[in-house]
């Protein structure tokens, strides 16, 4: 169940392209939607519909500190929900591949997602001195920057051209769905809760 490198490149490129648009679009539409959303609830909307954490931080920060905090919290909840989702998905893929081939296949466990939750829980107990946490956060930022730089250096416009317009069009449709559908869902949920 491994994706081709060129398809991963196109997928990541569309996330970056539309996420970058979101950084500017969400703060621009907030004044139009402020009669329905407070900064906090708009932050939840941002965190629940924008793909990448840095983009969530940037879009929320452009509105207010309250929007930024709510956006980051809702985004982190989305990230934490990845672990159980990926485990269920892996189990389903195993079930389907075993049924189709007639042989048993092993389940692939997304260890990175499980480790993310373990580290988040561990960090919640504040067992490490703040200086160590700060050093680890700095190291994490550096390693993430290196990974993103490596990804950028291996991404070529030719891969996007070769993929054609369909993946970009699909990403645009999904982006529009997240803005409109995500906004509607967030509004309905906040109306029910409030």
Q: Say if residue 177's pLDDT is above 90.
A: yes
Instruction: Give the Cβ contact number of residue 123 at 10 Å.
Output: 12
Angle subtended by helix axes 39-49 and 53-61, to nearest 10 = 160
Percent of the chain with pLDDT over 90: 45
How sure is the predictor about 84, in pLDDT bands with cuts at 50, 70 and 90? confident
Domain span at residue 52 reads 5-193
The C-alpha angle 28, 179, 110, rounded to 5 degrees, equals 120
Q: Say if residue 49's pLDDT is above 60.
A: yes
| Residue-wise pLDDT tens digits, 132-175 | 999 998 998 888 788 877 777 777 777 778 888 898 899 999 99
Q: Say if residue 79's pLDDT is above 90.
A: no
Tally of structural domains, the chain: 1
Residue of higher predicted confidence among 83 and 66: 66
Residue of higher predicted confidence among 168 and 9: 168
Give residue 107's pLDDT: 64
How sure is the predictor about 11, in pLDDT bands with cuts at 50, 70 and 90? confident
How sure is the predictor about 57, in pLDDT bands with cuts at 50, 70 and 90? very high
Residues 6+ apart with CB under 8 A from 97: 105
């Amino acid at each position: 169940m491994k994706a081709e490198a060129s398809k991963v490149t196109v997928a990541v490129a569309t996330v970056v392209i539309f996420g970058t648009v979101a950084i500017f679009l969400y703060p621009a539409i907030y004044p139009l939607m402020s009669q329905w959303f407070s900064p906090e609830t708009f932050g939840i909307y941002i965190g629940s519909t924008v793909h990448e954490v840095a983009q969530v931080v940037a879009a929320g920060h452009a509105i207010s500190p309250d929007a930024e905090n709510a956006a980051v919290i809702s985004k982190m909840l989305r990230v934490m929900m990845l672990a159980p989702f990926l485990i269920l998905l892996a189990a389903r893929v195993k079930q389907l591949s075993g049924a189709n081939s007639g042989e048993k296949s092993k389940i692939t466990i997304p260890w990175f997602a499980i480790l993310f939750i373990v580290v988040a829980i561990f960090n919640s107990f504040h067992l490490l001195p703040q200086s160590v946490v700060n050093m680890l956060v700095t190291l994490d930022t550096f390693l993430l920057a290196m990974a993103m730089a490596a990804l950028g250096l291996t991404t070529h416009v030719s891969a996007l051209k070769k993929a054609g317009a369909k993946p970009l069009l699909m990403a645009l449709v999904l982006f529009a769905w997240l803005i409109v559908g995500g906004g509607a869902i967030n509004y309905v949920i906040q109306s029910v809760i409030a």
